[in-house]
Chains A and B, each alone.
Chain A
Amino acid sequence: MPRILKRLLALLCLPGAWASWLTLPLIATILISVVWAKMGMNTLIGWEGQVPVLGRALTVNSLYDMQWYIFALLVLFGGIWALRDDRHVSVDFLSLMMSPRQRLWVRMIGDLIFLLPFCAIIAWYGFAFAEVAFRTAEGSTQGGLNARWLIKAMLPLSFALLGLMGILRALGTAIQLARGDLSEDIQ
């Protein structure tokens, strides 16, 4: 695969690598909310006036929202990274019997007929989904974080990036097949 394509694929994995550090605040916020809830308190820090995203105060409910926001980011951007590293579960029972060339064909066709339509649909309708949340200024129903459109927008964004990875990988695989380069490693 041409080096420039490999670089681009590596670039698409970066958000996943950044998101992985959010696991630590995920653990911390759950611990804090457990302790606060046990003490029967809700507000951690309050202040005067409105602040973007956080609203009027940082409450246990804001932490609660933050926790599934982090989970969503891990999944959505981690999924892109897992695709490049070939970490998604697959059944390799038959593919182990195929020749490297056949396996590359499967990868390219799969990217085009399975992955791309899926990403296109989720990115397209996901955009409308996030846009509604933005227009109606949707916030948490339980006094958590405001600006729910922010997390909803991650859905079309991540699927657009995933689809982009599919296009780049299929392109690179096609070049490989044409040149007779049968290496399967794309890291």
Chain B
Amino acid sequence: MIDHLGPELMLLGLIAGIFSGYPVAFVLAGIGILFAVANGIPMLFLSMGVQRIYSGTLTNWLLVAIPLFVFMGLMLERSGIAERLMRSLASLFQRTPGGYAFSVMIIGVIMAASTGIIGASVVMMGMMSLPAMREAKYDMQLASGLIASSGTLGILLPPSIMLIILGDQLRVSVGDLFMGAIVPGLVLSGLYFLYLGAVAIFQPHRVPAPEVIERRSMGETAWALTRDLLAPMALILSVLGTIIAGIATPTESAAIGATGALILALLSRKLTLNALRGALHETTKTTAMIVFVMIGASIFSVVFRRLGGDAMILDLFNIHETSPYTVLFIIMALVFLLGFFLDWVEITAVVVPIVAPIVAQLDFGLPGDQVMIWFAIALAVNLQTSFLTPPFGYALFYLRGIAPELPIRTIYRGVIPFVLIQITALLLVIIFPAVALWLPIAQR
């Protein structure tokens, strides 16, 4: 048994630092440097950190897609498309029970492209739809479960920023990951729709049709839907299509998407100088926030490796004697638990590089790159589930923040059916890798 004291202490230090509430990016880098100094690693070794930041992160052309997708999401959000879409969908469905519920779901799928930051999308969906659903006398349990789950779809549904970073970390093509996410994403949203449909049919009192009916001509509704539903859908499909067809790299399609979102905002007459400045400022801060975690993690991991961290992890999992499915289960369980405390940014930047070498050595009877694609998709579904699971789920926390008058029990109970749906989808992906792999393979 090799002595693993160094890396063990390092992990403990990391946990203590992270829970102190100090920004994770700097805790990662700081712990790395403190342990390098304490273990007498020559300072010159740390100059590798500079090289890493420069060549691994700053000159990484794939990561240039991050600010572009963030900007696209913010522009779509600020163009007021979501609010108008909510209104026109609601007026379209106003005679059917569950109209608002379906509208929220559809918007969740469309706006999934939005920032992909859990907090931001749950808050946006909640602010927009919770008052309307309350007014229509919806069951608040269902409403809160619906908002939390549709607000977290963005982790999985392409163009997800998390999948871009996973592609970089696991060294697989982002196009493959986007394609791999499509079928599981459709399965997931399909199950959500089925559940809502069942509620609307069998328990219509939980999702009553609004009493006040807004009169709108057919033509008006049709125009509103074209502008607010078909146009953003066309935009997102063209972004995905060009990546998947291999016409453009993710970064190039992100630029096309950003331009499209600017044009949509212009057409919606929402593109004021102030709105543009706000979106640009947000884009810069969000991009820096995501990339700085990657920078901090790279400093942490050079020192962690140097102190024998990789060997410790391999020993810990003892992969030669454990079945690959057990190892996968342990990793998934670990990520699920970490998802209670960490956002996807830290998990993809810190945990994934640590476990990736183990996953790469597992034999599931699939070629290496397919294992990685499958693993990435399962990880995304798993994380989304974790963010929804009481009592710690991230999304619930944010929902509580915008609706303090909702009893926490209502939120917990409301989200349970959605957690069950998530677990079903996760099991489907794990038991039948083809769910994730079919499209990427078929496309080759």
Contacts and interface: CB of A to CB of B under 8 A. Distances in A.
Q: Is the interface of B mostly helix, strand, loop or mixed?
A: helix
Interface residues of B, number: 64
A121 B49 contact: yes
A72 interface: yes
A106 B22 contact: yes
A126 B64 CA distance: 22
A94 B21 contact: yes
A20 interface: yes
B288 A23 contact: no
A30 B251 contact: yes
A129 B71 CA distance: 32
Contacts of A114: 17, 22, 26-27, 29-31
Given A31-B259, A72-B58, A20 B283 contact: yes
Contact of A88 (B46, B60, B292): B292
A4 interface: no
Interface in B406-444: none
B174 to A, nearest CB: 16
A125 B61 contact: no
B58 A81 contact: no
B242 to A, nearest CB: 10
Interface in A49-70: 64, 67-68
B284 A71 contact: no
Interface-centre pick from A85, A125, A129 (highest chain B CB count, 10 A): A125
A128 B47 contact: yes
B21 A95 contact: yes
B305 to A, nearest CB: 17
Contact of A19 (B25, B57, B284): B284
Interface string B137-162: 00000000000000000000000000
Contact of B285 (A78, A91, A126): A78
Interface in A136-155: 151-152, 155
Nearest to B21: A95
Interface-centre pick from B47, B341, B342 (highest chain A CB count, 10 A): B47
B51 to A, nearest CB: 7
Interface in A147-171: 151-152, 155
Question: How many A residues touch the partner, as a band?
Answer: 35 or more
Contacts of B61: 64, 67-68
Nearest to B24: A89
A82 B285 CA distance: 5
Nearest to B255: A30
Contacts of B24: 88-91
Nearest to B61: A68
A81 B21 contact: no
Interface in A85-133: 85, 87-95, 98, 103, 106-107, 110, 113-115, 117-118, 121-122, 125-126, 128-129
A129 B22 CA distance: 29
B255 A106 contact: no
B289 A87 contact: yes
Given A78-B285, A79-B288, A117 B30 contact: yes
Contacts of B345: 89
A23 B341 CA distance: 32
A78 B252 CA distance: 22
Interface string B343-373: 1011000000000000000000000000000
Interface of A: 16-17, 19-21, 23-24, 26-27, 30-31, 34, 64, 67-68, 71-72, 74-79, 81-83, 85, 87-95, 98, 103, 106-107, 110, 113-115, 117-118, 121-122, 125-126, 128-129, 151-152, 155
Ranked nearest first, the 7 interchain pairs of A and B with the lowest CB-CB distance are A114-B30, A95-B21, A78-B288, A110-B22, A88-B23, A30-B255, A20-B284
